C-alpha cells in the first residue's frame, strides 16, 4: 500500500476530484450536499456521521485511485465505469435523501395509522424504509467490467487493477451493510408502532413505541413536539398528553441509545454483517466493558460532554490513582492525540461509540487477546487500560507525524501565495509567465501535432510505471485519512471564510426615546430595516484615504487587530449582570471591578485560547459559585477555524442554559438549526439551500407543529393580525407568523427576518421591548461565532464580548 511518507490528501482538500469519471463526481457532489449545512440538526446525527465518513473514504481513496490509474491508459473507455458508479451513488443518495426529509417520520406514522387493521399492514410497513437497489448485483457487474484489465498476458493489462477493484467493492459493500442495518432497525420500530395500535386504549404501548423511534432518530424534545404535532389523518392524531409522555421517556431512552450504541456498532467492531444484526449483547464481554466505561465517565463529573484535554488528563489521573505512572511521552501525547483526532469537545456519545472502539484489537503482553472495544476496563483492570493507551498512541503516532508534516508543507505552499508588499495591485511579469508556460518542455506546435495524429505518441507514454506494491486500504491508511480530513472531529463549524462580522453591536433600550435618537445619529429612515453601529456609520461617512495597512488605528481612533496579532491576546468577557449568590465566586468578584474582563492583560497567566469555562476546578475560567444554570463544563471559547481573528463559543453540556442575547434593532445572522427563544415561545430556523442557484429558503418550525415558510423578501413574528411601525422603529417585511397566545408575551412585532441575496444570508432583527426578549439557544457541540458587544447569558449570569486593546500593543 501507499508508504506513510508519500500519502497525500485526495479530492476532499486538494480539489482534484474524479476527472476521469465526471458523471460519478457530479453524483457524489450532489450526495455530499445532503451533509453540508445541516450539521446543527440533532436528528439522524449517527446516520449522517457514519455515511458521510464511509462515502468520503470511498470517494477519496479507492475511487480516486481507480480514477488516477485508469486515465493513464488511452485504451480505457471511462463511460461504462462512470455510468455504473454514478448509478450506484445516485441510488444511495436517493435513499438517504428520502430518510432525511424533515417530514419523513411524520408521513411514516400517518401511513402506519392508515394501514392499521389491513391484512397486509406489516408487509407494507416493511417497505417504508426499504433500500430496494440491488447493490450486490451491480458490484458483480463492476467486477466483470474490470476483468479484462486484470489479465496479465494481454496488451490491455492495467497493473494493480485487481487490488483497486477489490478495495472499491469492499468499501461499497460496507456502505450497503450500513444502509441495510439501519433499514432493519427502522422497520423494527415501525412494526412496533403498528402493533401497538392506534386506538384510545393503546396509548401506553403506542407512547413507548413512538419514544423508542424518536430516540433512535435522535430527535430533541423540540423536534419530537413539532413532528408528532403534525401527525394528522382522518382517524388518528397524537394528543398533547401523549407527546408529553414521549418527552418523559426520551431522556432515559437517549441514555440507553448511547450505552447500546447505534445500530451499526457491532459492524464497526469488525463483525460479519450477519452477526452484526444480532446487536451488541451477542459479543461476549462487550456490554460489561461498556458498563465500566460509562460508569467511569459519570464518576469523573462529566455529563453529556467534556472538553477533550480534560478528558485526556482525567484518564492519566485515573492511572496515577491506580499506582500506574505514565512516562512523560505518554502524559504529553494522550491529550494531544485525542484533541487532534476528536477536536476540543467530546460528547458522551462519541466517547462510548467512537473512542471506545479504538481500544483493543491486540494481543496483550501476557498473551491474552483483547477484543476491539474492550480495551478500557477502567474499574476492573487498570493494567490493561495502560497497555491499551500505549497501543493506541503507537497506532496513531506515525499517522499524526505524517499528517503534521503534510500540514506544514501545505501551509508553506499557501503562505507563498500571500501578498507581501503589494497592496493595491499585483505586479505582472511577462517573462516569468512565458517561462512557466514552457516548463513542460513541449511547444504549441508539438501539442497540435500529437492531437491531430501527425506525430506518433512515444512508447514510454503507454508504459505506465508502477511501484510494484499491492494497493490496500489498511488501518494505518484510514488513520492518516482521518487525520488529514478531520472527519473525526465533532464540533460543527458554522463560520465560513466569506461570512462577514456584523458587529460590533451596541446595547440599546428600545423604550428610551433619547437613546434611540442618539443611536440613529440623525440617519433614521422609515425604510431602514436595521440600526447600524454609530461608530461604523461615522467611519463610513469619513473621506476615504489610502493609508499604510500596518497602521494599528482607524480614522475613528479604534484599535483593530492586525495580521500578526493573535486574537487570544485581546479577546475577553466583561460582566454585565450576575445574581448576588455568585458574589462568592472569585472570578465574578474580579469582574465586578471597574473595566475588568477575562483577558490576558487583566488575568495574568491566562493561556492562549482555547479556554474552558464552568464551575469545575479543571476549567481555565472557574465560576466557583452555586448559581443555578451554571454547569460543571459550560462552554469552550476557541479561535474560529476559518477566520482566525474571530472567537467562537462551543457549548459543552447539552443541559446547560446557554444563550446569545439578540441585539436590539441590529442584524444577526441565523443559520440552519438555530432555535430562537422568545419568553415562553420558541421556533427553530430551517434553511433549505439550493446549490444550483446559490440561494436558501427559510422556514420557521414551532412546537405546536406549525411550519411557516417565509417569502424571499422576509417575514416577521408577532402578535395580532396587523403590525404598525412605531416611531424610531426599523422597517419589517409584511409577511407575518402570528402568535396569538397571550401567555407567550409576544410583541406586535417581535422578530423580523431578512434575506441578503448577494451574500445568500438570512438575518434576524430583534424588535422585542424586553432586554432579553429574544434569545438564541446554544446547542452543544456547535461553534457559534462571536462579535464585539454581543451578550451571552449563562444561567443567571450575563456577559459581554469585548476586545481588550488598552495598552496591550505598547506592552508587546
592-641 pLDDT per residue, tens: 988 899 999 999 899 999 999 999 999 999 988 676 778 999 999 999 99
| Residue-wise pLDDT tens digits, 315-325 | 999 999 999 99
| Residue-wise pLDDT tens digits, 736-764 | 999 988 888 899 999 999 999 999 999 99
Residue whose C-alpha cell is 468578584: 589
| Residue-wise pLDDT tens digits, 128-186 | 999 999 999 999 999 999 998 888 777 788 888 999 999 999 999 999 999 999 999 99
Among 191, 220, 226, smallest CA distance to 205 is for 191
Among 621, 709, 614, 605, smallest CA distance to 653 is for 614
CB 797 within 8 A of CB 722: no
Tell which wins on pLDDT, 93 or 279. 93
| Residue-wise pLDDT tens digits, 70-89 | 988 888 999 999 999 999 99
pLDDT of residue 14: 43
Residue 15 predicted with pLDDT over 70: no
| Per-residue pLDDT band at 413 (split at 50, 70, 90) | low
pLDDT of residue 9: 41
CB 761 within 8 A of CB 473: no
- The share of the chain scoring above pLDDT 90, in percent, equals 66
Comparing 148-157, 181-190, 546-555, 692-701, the range with the smallest average pLDDT is: 546-555
Residue 559 predicted with pLDDT over 60: no
| Rounded CA separation 385/389 (Å) | 6
Residue 33 predicted with pLDDT over 70: yes
| Rounded CA separation 602/595 (Å) | 9
Residue 245 predicted with pLDDT over 90: yes
- Average pLDDT rounded to a whole number, residues 377-405: 90
| Rounded CA separation 382/359 (Å) | 13
Residue 12 predicted with pLDDT over 80: no
pTM exceeds 0.85 for this model: yes
- Average pLDDT rounded to a whole number, residues 89-104: 95
Tell which wins on pLDDT, 450 or 292. 292
pLDDT of residue 2: 37
Estimate the share of the chain in helix, then strand, then coil, as percent rounded to the nearest 5: 45, 15, 45
- Average pLDDT rounded to a whole number, residues 202-226: 95
- Average pLDDT rounded to a whole number, residues 286-308: 96
* Grid cell digits, residue 765: 432583527
| Rounded CA separation 702/615 (Å) | 33
CB 99 within 8 A of CB 204: no
pLDDT of residue 556: 46
Sign of CA dihedral 318, 323, 325, 326: negative
Which residues, 6 or more positions from 50, have their beta carbon under 8 angstroms from its beta carbon? 178, 262, 264, 268
pLDDT of residue 265: 92
- Average pLDDT rounded to a whole number, residues 515-532: 88
Strands 761-766 and 667-670: antiparallel
Comparing 480-484, 699-703, 766-770, 775-779, the range with the smallest average pLDDT is: 480-484
pLDDT of residue 741: 86
| φ, ψ for residue 684, nearest 5 deg | -120, 135
Residue 558 predicted with pLDDT over 60: no
The chain-wide mean pLDDT, for the chain, equals: 88
| Rounded CA separation 726/599 (Å) | 40
360: left (phi over 0), alpha (psi -120 to 50) or beta: left
Tell which wins on pLDDT, 7 or 281. 281
| Rounded CA separation 701/79 (Å) | 45
pLDDT of residue 202: 86
| Rounded CA separation 101/103 (Å) | 6
| Residue-wise pLDDT tens digits, 461-502 | 666 666 667 899 998 889 888 888 888 899 999 999 999 999
In terms of Cβ atoms closer than 10 Å to its own Cβ (0-12, 13-18, 19+), residue 193 is buried
Tell which wins on pLDDT, 277 or 211. 211
Comparing 448-457, 594-603, 710-719, the range with the smallest average pLDDT is: 448-457
| Rounded CA separation 704/226 (Å) | 6
| Per-residue pLDDT band at 435 (split at 50, 70, 90) | low
Amino acid at each position: 500500500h501507499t508508504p506513510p511518507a508519500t500519502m497525500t490528501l485526495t479530492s476532499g482538500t486538494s480539489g482534484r476530484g474524479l476527472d476521469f469519471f465526471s458523471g460519478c463526481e457530479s453524483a457524489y457532489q450532489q450526495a455530499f450536499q445532503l451533509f453540508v449545512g445541516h450539521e446543527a440538526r440533532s436528528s439522524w446525527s449517527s446516520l449522517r456521521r457514519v455515511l458521510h465518513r464511509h462515502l468520503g473514504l470511498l470517494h477519496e481513496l479507492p475511487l480516486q485511485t481507480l480514477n488516477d490509474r485508469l486515465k493513464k491508459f488511452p485504451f480505457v473507455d471511462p463511460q461504462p465505469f462512470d455510468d455504473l458508479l454514478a448509478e450506484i451513488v445516485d441510488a444511495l443518495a436517493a435513499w438517504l435523501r428520502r430518510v432525511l426529509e424533515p417530514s419523513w417520520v411524520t408521513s411514516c406514522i400517518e401511513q402506519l395509522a392508515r394501514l392499521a387493521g389491513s391484512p397486509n399492514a406489516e408487509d407494507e410497513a416493511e417497505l417504508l424504509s426499504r433500500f430496494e437497489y440491488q447493490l450486490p448485483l451491480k458490484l458483480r457487474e463492476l467486477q466483470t467490467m474490470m476483468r479484462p484489465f486484470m489479465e496479465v498476458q494481454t496488451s490491455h493489462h492495467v497493473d494493480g487493477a485487481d487490488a483497486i477493484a477489490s478495495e472499491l467493492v469492499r468499501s461499497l459493500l460496507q456502505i450497503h451493510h450500513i444502509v441495510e442495518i439501519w433499514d432493519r432497525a427502522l422497520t423494527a420500530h415501525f412494526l412496533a408502532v403498528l402493533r401497538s395500535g392506534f386506538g384510545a386504549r393503546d396509548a401506553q404501548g403506542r407512547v413507548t413505541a413512538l419514544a423508542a423511534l424518536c430516540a433512535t432518530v435522535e430527535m430533541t424534545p423540540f423536534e419530537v413536539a413539532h413532528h408528532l404535532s403534525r401527525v394528522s389523518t382522518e382517524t388518528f392524531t397524537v394528543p398533547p398528553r401523549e407527546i408529553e409522555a414521549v418527552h418523559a421517556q426520551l431522556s432515559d431512552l437517549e441514555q440507553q441509545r448511547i450505552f447500546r450504541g447505534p445500530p451499526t456498532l457491532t459492524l464497526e467492531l469488525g463483525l460479519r454483517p450477519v452477526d452484526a444484526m444480532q446487536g451488541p449483547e451477542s459479543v461476549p464481554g462487550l456490554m460489561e466493558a461498556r458498563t465500566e466505561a460509562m460508569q467511569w465517565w459519570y464518576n469523573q463529573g462529566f455529563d453529556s460532554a467534556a472538553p477533550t484535554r480534560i478528558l485526556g488528563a482525567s484518564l492519566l489521573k485515573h492511572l496515577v490513582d491506580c499506582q500506574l505512572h505514565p512516562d512523560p511521552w505518554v502524559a504529553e501525547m494522550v491529550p494531544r492525540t485525542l484533541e487532534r483526532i476528536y477536536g476540543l469537545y467530546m460528547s458522551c456519545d462519541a466517547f462510548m461509540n467512537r473512542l471506545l472502539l479504538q481500544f483493543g484489537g491486540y494481543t496483550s503482553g501476557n498473551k491474552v487477546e483483547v477484543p476491539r472495544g474492550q480495551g478500557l476496563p477502567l474499574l476492573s483492570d487498570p493494567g490493561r487500560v495502560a497497555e491499551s493507551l500505549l497501543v493506541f498512541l503507537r497506532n496513531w503516532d506515525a499517522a499524526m507525524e505524517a499528517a503534521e508534516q503534510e500540514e506544514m508543507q501545505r501551509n508553506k505552499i499557501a503562505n507563498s501565495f500571500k501578498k507581501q508588499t503589494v497592496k493595491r495591485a499585483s505586479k505582472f511579469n511577462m517573462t516569468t509567465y512565458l517561462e512557466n508556460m514552457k516548463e513542460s518542455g513541449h511547444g504549441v506546435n508539438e501539442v497540435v501535432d500529437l492531437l491531430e495524429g501527425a506525430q506518433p505518441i512515444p512508447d514510454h507514454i503507454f508504459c505506465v510505471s508502477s511501484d510494484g506494491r499491492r494497493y490496500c486500504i489498511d488501518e494505518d491508511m484510514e488513520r492518516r485519512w482521518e487525520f488529514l480530513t478531520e472527519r473525526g472531529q465533532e464540533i460543527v463549524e458554522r463560520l465560513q471564510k466569506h461570512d462577514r462580522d456584523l458587529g460590533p453591536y451596541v446595547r440599546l433600550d428600545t423604550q428610551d426615546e433619547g437613546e434611540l435618537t442618539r443611536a440613529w445619529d440623525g440617519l433614521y429612515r422609515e425604510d431602514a430595516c436595521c440600526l447600524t453601529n454609530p461608530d461604523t456609520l461615522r467611519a463610513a461617512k469619513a473621506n476615504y484615504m489610502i493609508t499604510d495597512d500596518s497602521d494599528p488605528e482607524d480614522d475613528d481612533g479604534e484599535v483593530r487587530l492586525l495580521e500578526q496579532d493573535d486574537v487570544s491576546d485581546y479577546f475577553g468577557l466583561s460582566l454585565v449582570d450576575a445574581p448576588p449568590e455568585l458574589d462568592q465566586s472569585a472570578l465574578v468578584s474580579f469582574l465586578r471591578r471597574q473595566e475588568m474582563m477575562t483577558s490576558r492583560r487583566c488575568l495574568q497567566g491566562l493561556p492562549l485560547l482555547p479556554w474552558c469555562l464552568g464551575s469545575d476546578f479543571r476549567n481555565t475560567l472557574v465560576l466557583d459559585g452555586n448559581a443555578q444554570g451554571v454547569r460543571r463544563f459550560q462552554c469552550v471559547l476557541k479561535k474560529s477555524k476559518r477566520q482566525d481573528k474571530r472567537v467562537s463559543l462551543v457549548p459543552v453540556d447539552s443541559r446547560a442554559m446557554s444563550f446569545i442575547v439578540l441585539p436590539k434593532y441590529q442584524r444577526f445572522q441565523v443559520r440552519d438549526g438555530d432555535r430562537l427563544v422568545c419568553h415562553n415561545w420558541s421556533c427553530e430556523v430551517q434553511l433549505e439551500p439550493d446549490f444550483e442557484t446559490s440561494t436558501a429558503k427559510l422556514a420557521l418550525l414551532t412546537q405546536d407543529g406549525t411550519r411557516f415558510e417565509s417569502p424571499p423578501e422576509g417575514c416577521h413574528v408577532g402578535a395580532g393580525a396587523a403590525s404598525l411601525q412605531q416611531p424610531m422603529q426599523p422597517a419589517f417585511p409584511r409577511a407575518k407568523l402570528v402568535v396569538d397566545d397571550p401567555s407567550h408575551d409576544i410583541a406586535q412585532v417581535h422578530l423580523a427576518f431578512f434575506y441578503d441575496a448577494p451574500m445568500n444570508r438570512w438575518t434576524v432583527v430583534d424588535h422585542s421591548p424586553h432586554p432579553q426578549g429574544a434569545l438564541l439557544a446554544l446547542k452543544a457541540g456547535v461553534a457559534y461565532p462571536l462579535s464585539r458587544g454581543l451578550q451571552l447569558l449563562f444561567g443567571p449570569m450575563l456577559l459581554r464580548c469585548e476586545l481588550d486593546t488598552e495598552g496591550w500593543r505598547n506592552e508587546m
